[in-house]
Amino acid sequence: MKYARLKKNTDIQRLFKKGKKAYSGELTAVYSPSAELKMAVIVSKKHGKAVKRNRIKRLVRQAFYNTLEKCPVSCAIILMPRVAEEYSLAKFESALKTCYRKMQCTRA
């Protein structure tokens, strides 16, 4: 299954204003029903320098790709990891599964 990336600032701001939130231990997901599956990862400077932030983004994107079969198909999602000492793919995958259970978007 493929997904599109949320890239436009206007789309991201609209999602923050009108979207709902789902929380887990390592991630916060802001989501809203959409025509197609879209995803963006936002990592703040609180997480560290650029190298560390880019690694976190890669891990979150890979975890999202690995758990696509459990994802609601018709949602636009922004994923924001929480600040932690250590980041791992397994933690992000379990956090995403928890967020998916809490989301109320329906499958198309």
> 83-92 burial by CB neighbour count: b if 16+ within 10 A, else e?
eeeebeeebb
Q: Decide if pLDDT at 63 tops 80.
A: yes
- pLDDT, residue 2, reads 74
Whether residue 65 lies inside any domain: the answer is yes
Q: What is the mean pLDDT of residues 49-53?
A: 96
Q: What is the mean pLDDT of residues 11-22?
A: 93
pLDDT band at 10 (very low <50, low <70, confident <90, very high): very high
d(CA 7, CA 4): 9
Cα–Cα distance list, 88 to 6, 30, 85, 99 (Å): 23, 21, 10, 17
CATH number at residue 57: 3.30.230.10
pLDDT band at 64 (very low <50, low <70, confident <90, very high): very high
Whether residue 39 lies inside any domain: the answer is yes
**59 with 87: CB under 8 angstroms?**
yes
**DSSP state, residue 106:** P
Whether residue 108 lies inside any domain: the answer is no
pLDDT band at 80 (very low <50, low <70, confident <90, very high): very high
